[in-house]
Amino acid sequence: MEHFTPNHFDGPEAIVPAPLLQFLQHFGTAQSTDETWGHLRQLSAAFGLGQVAYFQSVSSLDDPAEQPQDWRIVTTATQACHDRLAHSPMALKLAASDPNGVKMTPTFLHVRDPLVSDATHRRQMAMLQELDMTTAFAIPVISGDAFDKAVMVFGSHMHPDEFMSQIERFGCSLHIAAMASHARYVSLYKQEFVLRTRLTDKQSELIRLVGMGLLDKQIAHQLGISFSAVRQRLAAVQQKTGARNRAHLAAMAMRIDLTADALMANPQMAAG
């Protein structure tokens, strides 16, 4: 297998691997989640790790049941792998140290950790098989709030010794890329939410007003429509977004940046 050998440069390139520098220069201009994912895959491949998977904690943005212990497959190296994992409860458990969540520390999935249970190790090995990897490094990332928890898995079919050598060389770069990609992906995902749910400008404005805490009568006055029209629009918006109730819709308004984060908008509260 051909391995990536970084070139020697002056300036920043002398201490930052060339693929990582190129990644950081380009991924910030990504205009879609697909583009962001593409940049990460290219970086991983440049380091000799052709298999990548991205798992994300189910958030109130997408799941009416809102069960943070559940996970969804965001994307993988191939569509076939994605389709297979989408129906795999085993893969969705990831490298959990407890059944209700992912152990939020970097983990070598192919290594038998004496501190973890046999059941956890079996889950890790089963997930490797379903990801079509023989060696893998799982990196947990959090961006923003607790609902933005995710895990990036970089893997290959390398011999374990060869894989560990690559991680020693490029593990820090992968960690930086994972954190940056997740933050960018989540940001763009929020922007795309309006397009995915096909919200109109009026419906987005309605969500914003709900997020600001306005009551139906106040919203009716603000929009110049009847009270019953507000109720009808709210019902339509909840059906489109999957919001269960008004509180859920208000939380959604903040998560898709239609309203400001109340904590961040009040410096004194944040500092206290």
Measured at the CA of 59, the angle between CA 104 and CA 196, to 5 degrees, comes to: 130
Of 177, 194, 211, the last residue of a domain is: 194
Q: Which domain holds residue 102?
A: 11-194
| Shared-domain flag, residues 120 and 228 | no
Query: Which among 153, 177, 194 is the end of a domain?
Result: 194
Mean pLDDT of all residues in 184-200: 85
> What CATH number did the domain enclosing 222 receive?
1.10.10.10
Q: Are residues 208 and 98 in the same domain?
A: no
Say if 6 falls within a structural domain: no
CA distance 44 to 173: 10
Q: What is the pLDDT of residue 188?
A: 86
CA 56 to chain centroid, in Å, comes to 5
Tally of CB atoms within 10 A around 76: 24
Check residues 106 and 80 and name the one with the higher pLDDT: 106
| CATH number for position 99 | 3.30.450.80
Q: pTM for the full model?
A: 0.72
pLDDT of 264 above 70: no
Instruction: Please tell me the predicted confidence (pLDDT) of residue 123.
Output: 76
Give per-residue pLDDT as tens, 171-186. 999 999 999 998 888 8
Whether residues 41 and 153 share a domain: the answer is yes
Residues 52 and 116 in one domain: yes
Domain count, the chain: 2
The answer to the question of residue 1 being in a domain is no
pLDDT in tens, 227-253: 999 999 999 999 998 888 888 888 888
Q: Are residues 204 and 77 in the same domain?
A: no
Work out the mean pLDDT of the chain and round it to a whole number. 76
In this predicted model, what pLDDT tens digit does every residue of 134-172 receive, in sequence order?
888 988 887 666 556 788 889 999 999 999 999 988 999
